Structure 1
Amino acid sequence: MPTVAVLGAGVVGLTTAVKILEAGYDVVVIAQFFPGDPRDIRYTSNFAGANHSSMAGDDKRQFKLDMDTFEVVWKMSEPDSPTANLFMRTPIIHYFHEPMEKPDPLAGVMPEYRNLRPDELRVGATSGTYFMSVTFDVWRYLPWLYSQVLLKGGRVVRAQVQHINQVLEGAFCEKPDALVICAGIGARTLGGVEDENVFPIRGQTVLIHAPWIKSCMGAKHLPGVTSYVIPRPCGDVILGGTWLYDDWYPKPREETHDSILEGAIKLVPELAPPEVFASGRTPTAEDLKPLIVEAGCGLRPGRKGGVRLERDTVEVPNAGGKKVPIVFNYGHGGQGYQSSWGSAMEAVRLLKEGISFVVMNEVDGLKISE
């Protein structure tokens, strides 16, 4: 049974490891951070808002990855599913400042999709959409993925990999027969990859506890409102947020924190506790502060050109010219959760092709040498 080393244990790495295990390979996941570790800016998956609302637009490849993922998570979130508690089925409502110029690819695809009526619009929006989807309970979902890797026979090694040659030469486990790179933003500096197209998209959020909120809402391109509200099944609600390119700052900024609260209460006044409405006064950002659980900040792994999802071969050092297949699956930006299963399926397909290609070349080489 070929051994596949997967570098990275974020949502993309763990999902990819699960699918490789299901394909019948031996898997070892090598990463510096795993679910359950203390929060660290270098482990982005912990900080995601994590709903499924494709932003692929005209990118047909990205849209397929998203929709393949939605098919999986929608089934996982069915009320009688053992994994239902990892998700919250919820309406997702988007408000727009201008009418959409092109047909929405989600129309006719997402459950209950429709355009908002004029009486449903808010915060100065002139149009909007409604559909049903899911939000991920990140703090449950990531440990569940991790458990699936272990239950299916995968192994894990905690290590800070500086160069892929360290893995190829067997520094952390036996020499693998294939390598899959799911290093997220780490792909920018990982030796042997060093993808200069990778860059951070800084996201800052505020997590509050407001179990009465049951719908996702987001305002796009509205003057003075750049907010989204994402509820989770545990009763917590993610308020966001920022989308700042090439911003590496690793901690929440106070001024951004305040603007998130102000934008959120403007978009969704219902965030304020029920007693505020009972008092008859208009909710303000101050009403949200007693509800705060934590402020968050993460660096989404953006990439110029989009997700890198492709295969190649790499030579194993000090092994007489031996080559093994390598598959790249990183650069998902803010779409890691919503394209995770689709990209994992594609990574497995590429992995199988890569292994077959290397084996065929080795056989041809033997024939030539004879």
Structure 2
Amino acid sequence: MKKVVVLGAGVVGLTTALKIQQTGLYDVQIIAGLFPSDPKNIKYCSQWAGARFVSTEKIGSEQAEIDWATFQEMWKMSEPGGIAEECFLRMTQRHYFTEKLPSYSPLQRMPGFREIPRAELPTGVKATHGVEFQTFTIEPARYLPWLAKKFQQAGGAMVRKHVQHIDEVTKLGPHAVIVCLGLGARFLGGVEDKSVFPSRGQNVILRAPWIRDGSSFIDPHSNPRLGTDVVPRKSGEVLIGGTQEEPKPRPETTREMLRRSLALCPQLVPPDKRSRNPPDVKDILPIVVEEACGHRPVREGGPRIELDSRKATPVIYNYGHGGDGYIKSIGSANIVLKLLASV
């Protein structure tokens, strides 16, 4: 059986390795410095993700099809009785805008899509348009271990090692090496892709199990560093996002994020604390679980999913998905499978 090495154990690396192992044609080994069982680490982006499926890629583009392939498979996984139902929360998502949704938006092919009448728009934000559809959020703390377990049950192996140069792996004589290192692709000797860089963002996690629908407000003319997203999870946590380029959690940023999220979703206030109108940030501070900053592995020019056959050992790259690692994980792994079959 042909041996394949996958570098990286984030959601992209785990998904890619699992897909390859499940073919029964390869003996796959994941080599990584960090695994899902480890405590949260800022170098392990997949642990920090909001992991809500909302694609922004233009319909008809390759990236949109990658996203759609992921959605279709995850939608089946998340259905009642699905193989990973416990890792997902199916929900209604409402997106509010200051401009009409463009005709090429991928949101229009989501289940249950409808335009929200103006009379139903929230009063707390300056939205002029809105859409509603069915989607899901993924629970990173459940899904990453689930992927790792499935991979090992299928016969895959996981080795903890910090690889400094790709030659450390190719000299072992594998049939192919798959690089799924995210930000690590910038520093791995023999790859050193300087177009990869970290996009830092701050999130706040609340304990609010009564929130089961998601909502977002998007204003392209507002401060681009601050977004408004309410992302519920199966566990009862709700992620409030998010910002761009925050080096560490800032209390003033947290309060501003909470203020904006309350304007969008006043129901965040615990039911027994809803006497104040309008609600105040102090009403939800007691349910804050965590403030966090993660590093999204962004790549100039978009994700890199390609075969490099110039080396004695073929190398396939699958990284640079930014904040869309979960959204692109299955679709990009499917492309890797096709590339691997060609070598």
Class of the TM-score when normalised by the shorter of the 2 chains: over 0.9
Does 2:327 match 1:338? yes
In structure 2, list runs of 5 or more residues that go unmatched.
none
Secondary structure (helix, strand or coil) at the match of 2:313 reads strand
Secondary structure (helix, strand or coil) at the match of 2:289 reads strand
Whether the 8 Å CA contact 2:57–2:105 is kept in 1: the answer is: no
Distance apart, 1:57 and its partner CA: 2.4
Whether the 8 Å CA contact 2:59–2:104 is kept in 1: the answer is: no
Q: Which residue matches 1:6?
A: 6
Question: Which amino acid letter does the alignment assign opposite residue 39 of structure 2?
Answer: P
What TM-score comes out, normalization by structure 2 length? 0.95
Q: Which residue matches 1:150?
A: 152
Distance apart, 1:276 and its partner CA: 2.1
Secondary structure (helix, strand or coil) at the match of 1:52 reads coil
- Summarize the alignment of residues 58-69 of structure 1 with structure 2, pairs less than 5 Å apart: 60-69=61-70
Secondary structure (helix, strand or coil) at the match of 2:338 reads helix
Does 2:218 match 1:217? no
Show CA shifts across 1:140-171 (max 9, x none). 0010001011001000110111110111123x
Residues in 2 aligned to 1:12 and 1:280: alpha-carbon distance in whole angstroms: 44
Whether the 8 Å CA contact 1:51–1:135 is kept in 2: the answer is: yes
Q: Which residue matches 2:266?
A: 269
Residues in 1 aligned to 2:170 and 2:187: alpha-carbon distance in whole angstroms: 17
Question: Which amino acid letter does the alignment assign opposite residue 326 of structure 1?
Answer: V
Q: Which residue matches 2:110?
A: 110
Residues in 1 aligned to 2:310 and 2:89: alpha-carbon distance in whole angstroms: 42
Residues in 2 aligned to 1:2 and 1:253: alpha-carbon distance in whole angstroms: 49
Whether the 8 Å CA contact 1:326–1:351 is kept in 2: the answer is: no
Does 2:292 match 1:291? no
Show CA shifts across 1:349-370 (max 9, x none). 11111x2xxxxxxxxxxxxxxx
Distance apart, 1:58 and its partner CA: 5.3
Decide whether aligned partners of structure 1 residues 40 and 59 sit closer, same or farther in structure 2, where only a CA change above 3 A counts. Answer: farther
Whether the 8 Å CA contact 2:228–2:260 is kept in 1: the answer is: yes
Q: Which residue matches 1:312?
A: 308
2:133 maps to which of 118, 131, 136: 131
Distance apart, 1:296 and its partner CA: 1.5
Sequence identity percentage: 45
**Count, aligned residues:** 337
Show CA shifts across 1:86-128 (max 9, x none). 1000011111012234442331x21000111112212110001
Show CA shifts across 1:35-56 (max 9, x none). 0211111000000000111011
Distance apart, 1:233 and its partner CA: 0.8
Residues in 1 aligned to 2:302 and 2:11: alpha-carbon distance in whole angstroms: 17
Residues in 2 aligned to 1:77 and 1:22: alpha-carbon distance in whole angstroms: 20
- Summarize the alignment of residues 1-370 of structure 1 with structure 2, pairs less than 5 Å apart: 1-23=1-23, 24-57=25-58, 60-107=61-108, 109-122=109-122, 123-170=125-172, 175-221=173-219, 223=222, 226-244=227-245, 249=247, 251-277=248-274, 279-315=275-311, 323-353=312-342, 355=343
Show CA shifts across 1:248-301 (max 9, x none). x2x322322222112211211110111122x25421111111101111111111
Decide whether aligned partners of structure 1 residues 82 and 177 sit closer, same or farther in structure 2, where only a CA change above 3 A counts. Answer: closer
What TM-score comes out, normalization by structure 1 length? 0.88
Whether the 8 Å CA contact 2:55–2:106 is kept in 1: the answer is: no
RMSD: 1.5
Secondary structure (helix, strand or coil) at the match of 2:107 reads coil
Residues in 1 aligned to 2:77 and 2:102: alpha-carbon distance in whole angstroms: 34
Residues in 1 aligned to 2:84 and 2:267: alpha-carbon distance in whole angstroms: 29
Residues in 1 aligned to 2:76 and 2:48: alpha-carbon distance in whole angstroms: 24
Whether the 8 Å CA contact 2:240–2:258 is kept in 1: the answer is: yes
Decide whether aligned partners of structure 1 residues 176 and 103 sit closer, same or farther in structure 2, where only a CA change above 3 A counts. Answer: closer
Residues in 2 aligned to 1:57 and 1:63: alpha-carbon distance in whole angstroms: 6
Residues in 2 aligned to 1:218 and 1:292: alpha-carbon distance in whole angstroms: 19
Question: Which amino acid letter does the alignment assign opposite residue 257 of structure 1?
Answer: T
Distance apart, 1:221 and its partner CA: 1.2
In structure 1, list runs of 5 or more residues that go unmatched.
316-322, 356-370
Residues in 2 aligned to 1:339 and 1:184: alpha-carbon distance in whole angstroms: 13
Residues in 2 aligned to 1:57 and 1:262: alpha-carbon distance in whole angstroms: 31
